[in-house]
């Protein structure tokens, strides 16, 4: 990952995202700056990037997985001056104008300035894996940055740059470039094809092994991370990365002593034969890091902060080992309805609509957490479940196949489990393949959440809670933990625009507010933990019991839940701000 900002000197705010190189371009009133984390072509990919006569300038934070194919396409038309995968943005723009973004296979946030027409464009990847914000200065200049903190003091207003959109100064505003069929939320009817699903996921993992630096996998021992690790291990030996760094795979896990994730991850690592690194933290370690986590995550969402803190602590140790990139399992639960509350979906129509809502909101939750908690230490996370083609396959499937069905022996994410249930060449042992999910913030150790609640109970008085609506009329905290995070956020980011970037609403086990309507008892809860779902353990053990929400659940496995709602979310890498006169509106 990297960071971009388009304003003189602003890149200082983003050096944590890209410690390897600082690049700056200035032309009249326009500035583009980039902080680089060098993953591909570390010796020749410094930015900004230019065309041959330096009339087109690009700063980018991204990984373009089909860059070699695009290079071949333009080999006779364009002289490439670096090995950067992001340089292919330039010939695509020269050939197709602004209508090329959907040709990029990868994750990205970039700004392109055309000195010939004095126009610029910016774009963000389909789901919003890479963070991006857009703001307006008091002089009307447009600012664009990977993180909100670079806009915080200089913009009169700013907002999240929406995923799957591009901004055009020539056209005068934002427009959507990502237009998949599932976005309309119409219920698909395509039958479940396990081999197609497996093949799409394997391709998604393999293309993310494009690296010129040491890498590893985050492994909690749950289904998602275990599949990422298993597929990586199976195919690594055939990749260029293996030729450079060997075929040994490093895996990483974090947790309190004796936590579910540590135990489950060790079992998977032993089965796969990875070089496994186990990092421990204490509740006090996590509490001490909360303010830094909120600063880097740029959110006051409770579930995001809970899950980000162990990840933040782990990322520092991974980077200290010389690793600059890891693969992770975010996105599966949203695409496949893997969160335990999906067991209570009343029908396949509601189930599908909820998965659509969840995927559309990923940029404010899991994508934000995974990117920003790791970029704080100059570590890049890649997420194969959010590959565009895999998303198309997963979201075009008849949702009936994804639903929990005790009579048919289907637990959550059964379609993924069945696709990788290969008797001849097993990817994982069956008891791991069919292990129930765990929220990340629970899986690192149940005492983590309980310790946070006990600590914040002491920091926020009953009197403060009584006045919460007066002090914080926007997204009023509903409990003391949320109030404590909000106090820190407001001190770091006091602007109205900042607080409006954080989503809010009731949630159970990472549900959207709309899904709260599925079960009457959920409406009274102020805790978003997955432990509030009674089927939390029994679903995988017996494939049967469905009970109402209760406060005690238990489980093994993992889920990267960073979704929000009983309290509040975001994500980042280093990127550039385009400073200049705005030609139009910021509205989509």
Helix axes 446-459, 283-297, angle to 10 degrees: 80
Q: Which residues are 133's β-sheet partners?
A: 145, 160
Question: Does the annotation place 218 within a ligand binding site?
Answer: yes
Q: Are strands 275-280 and 250-255 parallel, antiparallel or unpaired?
A: parallel
> Locate tokens 């820190």: which residue?
488
Cα separation, 291 vs 303, in Å, equals 15
Question: Does the annotation place 254 within a ligand binding site?
Answer: yes
Q: Which long-range contacts (CB under 8 A, 24 or more apart) does 192-197 make?
A: 192/397, 192/398, 192/401, 192/415, 193/397, 194/415, 194/418, 194/419, 195/419, 196/393, 197/393, 197/394, 197/397, 197/415, 197/416, 197/419
Q: By three-state DSSP, how is residue 173 classified? A: strand
Question: Does the annotation place 85 within a ligand binding site?
Answer: yes
Q: Are strands 133-137 and 155-160 parallel, antiparallel or unpaired?
A: antiparallel
Phi first, then psi: give them for residue 307, nearest 5 degrees.
Answer: -80, -30
Q: By three-state DSSP, how is residue 491 classified? A: helix
Can you read off the two tokens belonging to residue 84?
A: 């950067």
Q: Judge whether 510 counts as a catalytic residue.
A: no
Phi first, then psi: give them for residue 259, nearest 5 degrees.
Answer: -70, 160
Q: Which of 260, 227, 151, 511 is nearest to 361 (CA)?
A: 511
Q: Are strands 173-176 and 165-168 parallel, antiparallel or unpaired?
A: antiparallel
DSSP-derived letter for residue 379 is: -
Spatial contact of 440 and 307, defined as CB atoms under 8 Å apart: yes
Spatial contact of 574 and 3, defined as CB atoms under 8 Å apart: yes
What b-and-e string marks burial along 22-48, b requiring 16 or more CB atoms within 10 Å of the CB? Answer: bbbbeeeebbbbbbbbbbbbbeebbbb
Residue 365: count other Cβ atoms within 10 Å of its Cβ.
29
DSSP-derived letter for residue 253 is: E
Binding positions for ATP? 218, 254, 328-329
Active centre residues (catalytic): 2
């Amino acid at each position: 990952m990297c960071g971009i900002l388009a304003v003189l000197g602003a890149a200082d705010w983003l050096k944590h995202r890209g410690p390897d190189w600082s690049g700056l371009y200035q032309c009249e009133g326009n500035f583009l700056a980039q902080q680089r984390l060098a993953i591909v072509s570390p010796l020749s990919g410094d930015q900004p990037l230019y065309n041959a006569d330096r009339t087109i300038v690009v700063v980018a934070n991204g990984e373009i997985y089909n860059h070699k194919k695009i290079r071949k396409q333009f080999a006779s038309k364009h002289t490439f001056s670096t090995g950067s995968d992001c340089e292919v943005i330039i010939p695509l723009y020269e050939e197709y104008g602004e209508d090329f973004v959907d040709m990029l296979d990868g994750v990205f946030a970039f700004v392109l300035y055309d000195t010939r027409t004095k126009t610029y464009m910016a774009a963000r990847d389909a789901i919003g894996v890479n963070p991006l914000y857009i703001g307006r200065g008091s002089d009307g200049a447009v600012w664009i940055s990977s993180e909100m903190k670079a806009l915080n003091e200089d913009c009169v207003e700013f907002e999240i740059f929406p995923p799957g959109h591009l901004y055009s100064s020539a056209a005068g505003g934002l427009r959507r470039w990502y237009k998949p069929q599932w976005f309309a939320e119409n219920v698909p009817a395509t039958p479940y094809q396990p081999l197609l699903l497996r093949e799409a996921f394997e391709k998604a993992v393999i293309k993310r092994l494009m690296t010129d630096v040491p890498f590893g996998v985050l492994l909690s021992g749950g289904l998602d991370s275990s599949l990422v690790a298993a597929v990586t291990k199976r195919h690594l030996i055939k990749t260029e990365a293996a030729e450079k760094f060997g075929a040994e795979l490093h895996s990483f896990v974090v947790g309190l002593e004796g936590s579910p994730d540590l135990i489950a991850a060790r079992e998977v690592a032993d089965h796969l034969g990875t070089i496994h690194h186990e990092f421990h933290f204490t509740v006090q370690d996590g509490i001490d890091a909360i303010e830094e986590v909120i600063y880097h995550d740029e959110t006051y969402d409770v579930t995001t902060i809970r899950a980000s803190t162990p990840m933040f602590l782990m990322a520092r140790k991974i980077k200290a080992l010389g690793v600059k990139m890891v693969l992770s399992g975010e996105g599966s639960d949203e695409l496949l309805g893997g969160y335990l509350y999906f067991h209570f979906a009343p029908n396949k129509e509601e189930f599908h609509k909820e998965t659509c809502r969840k995927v559309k909101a990923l940029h404010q939750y899991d994508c934000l957490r995974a990117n920003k908690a790791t970029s704080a230490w100059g570590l890049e996370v890649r997420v194969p479940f959010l590959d565009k083609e895999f998303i198309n396959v997963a979201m075009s499937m008849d949702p009936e196949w994804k639903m929990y069905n005790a009579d048919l022996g289907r637990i959550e994410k059964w379609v993924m489990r069945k696709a990788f249930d290969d008797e001849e060449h097993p990817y994982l042992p069956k008891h791991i393949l069919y292990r129930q999910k765990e929220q990340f913030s629970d899986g690192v150790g149940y005492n983590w959440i309980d310790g946070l609640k006990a600590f914040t109970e002491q920091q926020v008085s009953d009197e403060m809670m009584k006045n919460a609506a007066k002090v914080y009329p926007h997204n009023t905290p509903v409990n003391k933990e949320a109030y404590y995070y909000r106090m820190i956020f407001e001190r770091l980011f006091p602007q109205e625009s900042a607080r409006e970037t954080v989503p809010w609403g009731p949630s159970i086990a990472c549900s959207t507010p709309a899904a709260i309507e599925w079960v009457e008892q959920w409406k009274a809860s102020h805790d978003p933990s997955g432990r509030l779902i009674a089927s939390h353990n029994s679903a995988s053990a017996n494939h049967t019991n469905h009970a109402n929400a209760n406060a005690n659940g238990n489980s093994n496995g993992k889920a990267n839940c960073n979704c929000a709602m009983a309290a509040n979310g975001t994500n980042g890498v280093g990127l550039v701000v385009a400073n200049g006169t705005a030609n139009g509106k910021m509205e989509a």
